[in-house]
Structure 1
Amino acid sequence: MVVQLVAPRLMLMGGGSVGKLAEVLAQLGLSRPLVVTDPFMVSSGLLDRALAPLRAAGIEAAVFSDTVPDPTDTVIEAGVAVLKAGNFDCLIGFGGGSPMDTAKAMTILAAAPAGTHIRAFKVPAAANLAALPVICVPTTAGTGSEATRFTVITDTERDEKMLIAGLGALPLAAVVDHEFTFGLPARITADTGIDSLTHALEAFVSKRANPVADDYARSAMRLIAPNLRRVWADPKDAAAREAMMRGATLAGLAFSNSSVALVHGMSRPVGAHFHVPHGMSNAMLLPAVTAFGLDAGRARYAEAARVMGVAREDEGDQSACAKLVEELRALNRDLQVPTPAGYGIAADAWNGLLPTMAAQALASGSPANNPRVPTADEIVALYRESYGG
Structure 2
Amino acid sequence: MNPFVFNTTSQVVFRPGAATQIGGLLGPRFGERILFVTDGGLRKIGLCDPALASLGDAGLAVTVFDAVEPDPSLVTVQAAAAAAKSAGATGVIGFGGGSSLDVAKVVALVCGSGEDIDGAWGVGNARGPRLPLALVPTTAGTGSEVTPVSIITVGGDEKRGISSPVILPDIAILDADLTLGLPPAITAATGIDAMVHAIEAYASRNPNNNPLSRMLARQALQLLGANIEKAVFDGKDQAARGAMLLGSMLAGQAFANSPVAAVHALAYPIGGTFHVPHGLSNALVLPHVLRFNASAAASSYAEIAADAFPDLSQEQDVTQRCAAFVERLGDLSARLGLQSRLRDVGIGEEHLAGMARDALKQTRLLVNNPRDVSEADALSIYNEAW
**TM-score band, normalised by the shorter chain?**
over 0.9
Change in 2 beyond 3 A, CA 1:176/1:366: same
Q: Which amino acid in 1 is paired with 2:227?
A: N
State the match for 1:155 in structure 2.
154
Determine helix, strand or coil for the equivalent of 2:122.
coil
Matches of 2:290 and 2:298 in 1, distance apart?
10
User: Which 10-residue stretch deviates more, 308-317 or 176-185?
Assistant: 308-317
State the match for 1:98 in structure 2.
99
Matches of 1:162 and 1:8 in 2, distance apart?
22
Change in 2 beyond 3 A, CA 1:314/1:331: closer
Output the TM-score relative to the length of structure 1: 0.94
Q: Which amino acid in 1 is paired with 2:134?
A: I
User: Which 10-residue stretch deviates more, 224-233 or 146-155?
Assistant: 224-233
State the match for 1:12 in structure 2.
13
Determine helix, strand or coil for the equivalent of 1:61.
strand
Q: Which amino acid in 1 is paired with 2:76?
A: V
> Structure 1: 5+ residue runs without aligned partners?
none
CA RMSD of aligned residues (A): 1.7
State the match for 2:342 in structure 1.
340
Query: What displacement does 1:124 show?
Result: 4.1
1:198-217 correspondence runs (5 A): 198-208=196-206, 209-217=209-217
Query: What displacement does 1:382 show?
Result: 0.9
Q: Could you tell me whether the CA contact under 8 Å between 1:38 and 1:66 is conserved in 2?
A: yes
State the match for 1:178 in structure 2.
176
C-alpha distance after superposition, 1:245-298 (max 9, x if no partner) = 100011111100111111011111211111010000000010000111112011
Query: Where does structure 1 differ by over 6 angstroms across 4 or more consecutive aligned residues?
Result: none
1:326-365 correspondence runs (5 A): 326-338=327-339, 339-348=341-350, 350-361=351-362, 363=363, 365=364
Q: Could you tell me whether the CA contact under 8 Å between 1:269 and 1:360 is conserved in 2?
A: no
Change in 2 beyond 3 A, CA 1:7/1:31: farther
User: Which 10-residue stretch deviates more, 21-30 or 60-69?
Assistant: 21-30
Matches of 2:311 and 2:374 in 1, distance apart?
30
1:148-297 correspondence runs (5 A): 148-157=147-156, 159-208=157-206, 209-297=209-297
C-alpha distance after superposition, 1:1-22 (max 9, x if no partner) = 4321111121100111112211
Change in 2 beyond 3 A, CA 1:272/1:119: farther
State the match for 2:73 in structure 1.
72
State the match for 1:373 in structure 2.
372
C-alpha distance after superposition, 1:36-83 (max 9, x if no partner) = 011011111001021111122222311111111111101111111111
Matched residues, number: 381
Change in 2 beyond 3 A, CA 1:203/1:174: same
State the match for 2:24 in structure 1.
23
Matches of 1:102 and 1:130 in 2, distance apart?
16
> Structure 2: 5+ residue runs without aligned partners?
none
Query: What displacement does 1:87 show?
Result: 1.9
Matches of 2:335 and 2:54 in 1, distance apart?
39
Percent of pairs with identical residues: 36
User: Which 10-residue stretch deviates more, 54-63 or 188-197?
Assistant: 54-63
Determine helix, strand or coil for the equivalent of 2:61.
coil
Q: Could you tell me whether the CA contact under 8 Å between 1:310 and 1:323 is conserved in 2?
A: no
